[in-house]
């Protein structure tokens, strides 16, 4: 008989046959869709500010906010995408529908660039007077972008999880293959991004915007066909419900019993020994959540048994899982602002590049393609860490590299450096502007000067991305991996929105008039270096806050680990002394 996998099912709903389902071929078809997502969204976002300013004639700050809000929405909607997959559709169907949604959004974007009435007329020759895009034209652009963002949220939140579903963790051979999946997943993300900022943007700039965005639509069309073609060979997992609902269960139960006092004897709290999840012991932190496990008279039925209502009573293990999530929140909050630097390489840094001499021989690098240096920073930073830092620390310190919290701290240092360098470069660019005049289309300044800020942002993100992903996955309960991934991705999205908010506030305070405003319609007449310096200063403050949060988390986890160890040792002694004694209760809050 063929070996079966009990945790996974095939497309018929039967236990999956290990010899006919899953494996690298199935995982590769899933990775194709992720490559298409990176090719499309990054190719659109990295060059969108030049289209908004150059074709739609929007002010620089408005264009930057369009890009930031679009990019932020895609990441923030990952929480929704994970919830929909866990609760209703499953990962396979959510990915398929999301891929189609992105293709539709790219098609709308392509049409908006092709139809003359959906963009303003070109600027009059030898005149600085340009007609700005009207509300309807900007509305069509935003419609296309947010359709893409909805699809991105559903796809990104489930691709990595569905990919790992194709391997059996209990099989040593397949487990080793799954470990390689994450490195190849990261490679595919980088490959798709590089193709997006080179080939995709090249078509947009040298052929037409319409064909460039249409290429994204075609890429998803064929990528979706490849993905669907493997449907009968995928391994599926049944939807067990969203972990977000479990968190709400505990919070609601604790809120209902907020007037009750926590018992001094924690053994009286409700515990469920029949629960399928690994048992967690009570910890003293966040005692207010313990109220969700207090059994009062309203939890008993007429026959004296406990009423099974998870919105009113939850086990200690379920409460402790929510405590684990709550402990993550200070790190989550303190890392959000870091991602504002990512917004800059997609917006104002691209505008800087559009004013410089970017020719190599007879070839001119498109402004949006400068993000290639940002991707190189990510790849080189990750490779240097894997090939140099980890072996060195193993040899001299006996450790497998830096901890996830340390990597995030290193990311802050590189992030601050990138914004300081960006401010210095902008001062140099403005000095050239003052020498030759702000109306010059291309400044006599080579593009090389911009490479360090793009590269440093990439290096910073290589440390932050790997550190956050490792932290949120390994420090969250086993049944909440999808939600923890969504939490990580939401920091990226919120970082974009904070950047957009900062731009709006700065515009309202400094104005947008030449000579006074920081972020004017033409950056040659603004003070962008002040904006970069402000980001660097706030990022330094955020780093200090992060350090305190990290210290608090480490101390809290040490205390929790000591409690778990002491209780586990005590229970083991009880088992040896009374092997036939039944422990716990029969009640079930689920």
**What is the reported pLDDT for 360?**
84
Where does residue 108 rank: exposed (0-12), middle (13-18), buried (19+ CB within 10 A)? middle
**What is the reported pLDDT for 407?**
92
**What is the reported pLDDT for 567?**
53
Which candidate, 6, 7, 476, places its Cα nearest to that of 243?
476
**What is the reported pLDDT for 589?**
38
**What is the reported pLDDT for 290?**
86
**What is the reported pLDDT for 423?**
95
Residue ranges, the chain, pLDDT below 70: 1-7, 125-128, 176, 178-180, 182-183, 240, 273-278, 301-307, 438, 479, 514-515, 559-590
**What is the reported pLDDT for 584?**
37
Where in the chain are the domains? 1-240, 243-324, 329-563
**What is the reported pLDDT for 276?**
57
**What is the reported pLDDT for 585?**
36
**Hey, what long-range contacts does 255-263 have (CB within 8 A, 24 or more apart)?**
256/311, 256/312, 257/291, 257/292, 257/294, 257/296, 258/288, 258/291, 260/291, 260/294, 260/296, 262/287, 262/288, 262/290, 262/291, 262/294, 263/294
**What is the reported pLDDT for 125?**
65
**What is the reported pLDDT for 581?**
40
**What is the reported pLDDT for 495?**
93
CATH classification of 329-563 is 2.40.30.10, yes or no? Answer: no
- Distance of alpha carbon 166 from alpha carbon 24, whole angstroms: 8
**What is the reported pLDDT for 211?**
92
Three-class DSSP category at 302: coil
Q: What is the CATH number of domain 1-240?
A: 1.20.1250.20
- Asked if 536 and 412 count as a contact pair (C-beta separation under 8 A), the reply is no
Domains 1-240 and 329-563 share a fold: yes
- Asked if 314 and 269 count as a contact pair (C-beta separation under 8 A), the reply is no
- Distance of alpha carbon 440 from alpha carbon 130, whole angstroms: 17
């Amino acid at each position: 008989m063929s070996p079966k996998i009990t945790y996974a099912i095939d497309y018929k709903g039967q236990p999956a046959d290990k010899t006919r389902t899953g494996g690298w071929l199935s995982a590769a078809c899933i990775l194709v869709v992720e490559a298409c997502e990176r090719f499309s969204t990054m190719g659109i976002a990295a060059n969108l500010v030049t289209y908004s300013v150059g074709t739609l004639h929007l002010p620089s700050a408005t264009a930057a906010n369009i890009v930031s809000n679009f990019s932020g929405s895609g990441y923030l909607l990952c929480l929704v995408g994970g919830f929909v997959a866990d609760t209703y559709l499953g990962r396979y169907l959510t990915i398929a529908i999301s891929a189609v949604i992105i293709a539709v959004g790219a098609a709308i974007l392509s049409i908006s660039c092709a139809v003359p009435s959906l963009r303003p007329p070109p600027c009059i020759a030898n005149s600085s007077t340009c007609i700005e895009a009207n509300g309807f034209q900007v509305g069509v652009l935003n419609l296309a972008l947010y359709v893409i963002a909805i699809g991105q949220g559903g796809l990104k939140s489930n691709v990595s999880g569905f990919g790992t579903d194709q391997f059996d963790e209990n099989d040593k051979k397949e487990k080793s293959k799954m470990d390689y999946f994450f490195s190849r997943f990261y490679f595919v993300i980088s490959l798709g991004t590089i193709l997006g900022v080179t080939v995709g943007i090249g078509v947009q700039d040298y052929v037409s915007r319409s064909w460039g965005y249409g290429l994204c639509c075609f890429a998803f069309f064929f990528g979706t066909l490849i993905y669907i073609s493997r449907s009968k060979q995928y391994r599926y997992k049944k939807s067990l419900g969203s972990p977000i609902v479990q968190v709400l269960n505990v919070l609601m139960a604790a809120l209902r019993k907020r007037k009750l006092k926590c018992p001094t004897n924690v053994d009286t709290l409700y515990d469920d020994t029949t629960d399928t999840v690994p048992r967690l012991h009570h910890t003293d932190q966040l005692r207010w959540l313990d109220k969700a496990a207090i059994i009062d008279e309203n939890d008993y039925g007429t026959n004296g048994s406990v009423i099974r209502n998870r919105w009113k009573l939850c086990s200690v293990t379920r409460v402790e899982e929510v405590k684990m999530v709550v402990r993550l929140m200070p790190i989550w909050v303190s890392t959000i602002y870091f991602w504002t630097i990512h917004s800059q390489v997609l917006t104002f840094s691209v505008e800087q590049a559009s004013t410089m001499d970017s020719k190599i021989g007879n070839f001119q690098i498109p402004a949006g393609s400068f993000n290639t240096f940002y991707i190189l920073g990510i790849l080189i930073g990750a490779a240097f860490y894997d090939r140099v830092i980890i072996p060195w620390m193993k040899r001299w310190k006996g450790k497998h590299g830096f901890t996830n919290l340390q990597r995030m701290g290193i990311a802050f240092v590189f992030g601050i450096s990138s914004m300081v360098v960006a401010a210095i470069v902008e001062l140099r660019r403005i000095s050239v502007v003052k020498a030759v005049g702000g109306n010059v289309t291309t400044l006599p300044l080579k593009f090389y000067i911009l490479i360090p800020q793009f590269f440093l942002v990439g290096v910073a993100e290589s440390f932050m991305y790997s550190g956050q992903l490792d932290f949120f996955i390994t420090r969250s309960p086993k049944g909440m991996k999808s939600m923890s991934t969504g939490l990580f991705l939401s920091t990226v999205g919120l970082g974009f929105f904070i950047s957009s908010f900062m731009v709006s506030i700065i515009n309202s305070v400094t104005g947008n008039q030449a000579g006074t405003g920081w972020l004017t319609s033409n950056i040659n007449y603004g003070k962008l270096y002040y904006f970069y310096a402000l980001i660097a200063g706030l990022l330094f403050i955020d780093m200090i806050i992060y350090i305190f949060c990290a210290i608090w988390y480490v101390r809290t986890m040490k205390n929790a680990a000591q409690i778990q160890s002491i209780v586990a040792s005590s229970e083991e002694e009880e088992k040896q002394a009374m092997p036939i004694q039944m422990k716990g209760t029969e009640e079930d809050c689920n």
